[in-house]
Structure 1
Amino acid sequence: MEVKIAKTDEQQQDAYRVRHTVFVLEQNVPPEIEIDELENDSTHFIGYDGNQPIAAGRLRYVEDYGKLERVCVLKDFRGLQFGKQMIAEMENVIRSKGLPKAKLNAQTHAEDFYKSIGYQTISEQFMDAGIPHVTMIKEV
């Protein structure tokens, strides 16, 4: 997979389509909250398998950390290390900005995945978009 920072409208739309497929169609997140007011304040990442967009994520800078959000991989491409690759690229950008840590709100079914790549849970479970989540952090 080739991970790019979305710099064109087409790349941005590819990221939105992957997110829509995973979050809205698969997980039933309401479309009006999947795309939100923070999009313009975010760095968007898109992962391609050849010309096919298969993964996405967005990154915001908050206080002294990078906040990973909307990280997803299309169902047919899960289990192939593409999520790890996407997160590694996002963490590289956080490091390049001189920030010491990454933070994210993980769906609880993905908590073990994030733990396997160095994230630690720092919150109790909470609901977001009708899905249980926990907040996790990692020194980068």
Structure 2
Amino acid sequence: MEVTIGKSAELIEKAQAIRYQVFTVEQNIPSELDLDGLDSVSEHALVMEVERPVATARLVTNTDGSSVMARVAVLDAYRGCGIASVVVKALMEHANQKGVRSIEIHAHGYLRSYYERFGFEFIQEVEVVGEHQLIEMRHQLVRA
């Protein structure tokens, strides 16, 4: 399993294909909500399994040192194998190496305890997207 982080058009295209399958097809979230115009300014993590893109997430870093992790998605056939944790950890490590101070995420409410294991803290319930209640969580990165 290989994780690549970058901004190339090819990487973004593969990430968007995974997100389309997971968010639009499976979760009935309109694709225009996923394609919010931030892909070109984001760094994307892409997990490849035997040359097949299977998981993705993106990180937007703000000028104030904060960041937003979003669009965490794993293809159905690869769920339950720990791949989501691989992509989340890879982006968190990347953010830390870049000197990011905090990572915010808007996650499905049922994933609260999952993200708490990575050190994210619940802030509040936020918007409903499609039929999914999202929650805001934040992780303060520790400086060595």
TM-score, normalised to structure 2, is 0.89
Distance 1:19 1:8 in 2: 17
Residue 53 (structure 1) aligned with residue 57 (structure 2): no
Distance 1:135 1:7, change over 3 A: closer
- Quick check: 1:25 aligned with 2:25? yes
Alignment-derived partner of residue 124 in structure 2: 123
Instruction: Tell me whether 1:76 sits opposite 2:77 in the alignment.
Output: yes
Hey, what does 1:109 align to over in structure 2? 110
User: For structure 2, which runs of at least 5 residues remain unmatched after alignment?
Assistant: none
Over 6 Å off, 4+ runs: none
Counterpart-to-counterpart distance in 1, 2:125 and 2:53:
33
Match for residue 100 of structure 2? 99
Distance change >3 Å, CA 39–CA 7, structure 1 → 2: closer
Query: Aligned partners of 2:42, 2:14: CA distance in 1, in Å?
Result: 15
Describe the shift of the 1:7–1:35 C-alpha distance in structure 2 as closer, same or farther (beyond 3 A).
Answer: same
Q: 1:54 to 1:100 in 2, by over 3 A?
A: same
8 A Cα contact 2:122 2:136, kept in partner: yes
Consecutive unaligned residues of structure 1, counting only runs of 5 or more, are none
CA shift, 1:7, in A, is 4.7
| Partner secondary structure for residue 123 of structure 1 | strand
2:137 equivalent to 1:136: yes
Count of residues in correspondence between the two structures: 140
Q: CA deviation at 1:125?
A: 4.6
CA drift of 1:82 comes to: 0.8
Check the 8 A contact 1:65/1:94 in 2, yes or no.
Answer: no
Distance 1:138 1:7 in 2: 23
TM-score normalised over the length of structure 1: 0.91
Q: Distance in 1 between matches of 2:87 and 2:115?
A: 12
CA deviations over 1:81-125 (Å, ceiling 9, x no partner): 111110111011111111222110011121121112221101135
CA deviations 1:32-74 (Å, max 9, x no partner) are 1211211111111111111111001111013332210101111
Equivalent position amino acid for 1:14 in 2 = K
Quick one: distance in 1 between partners of 2:89 and 2:135? 20
Question: Aligned letter for 1:24?
Answer: T
- After superposition, the CA RMSD in angstroms is 1.5
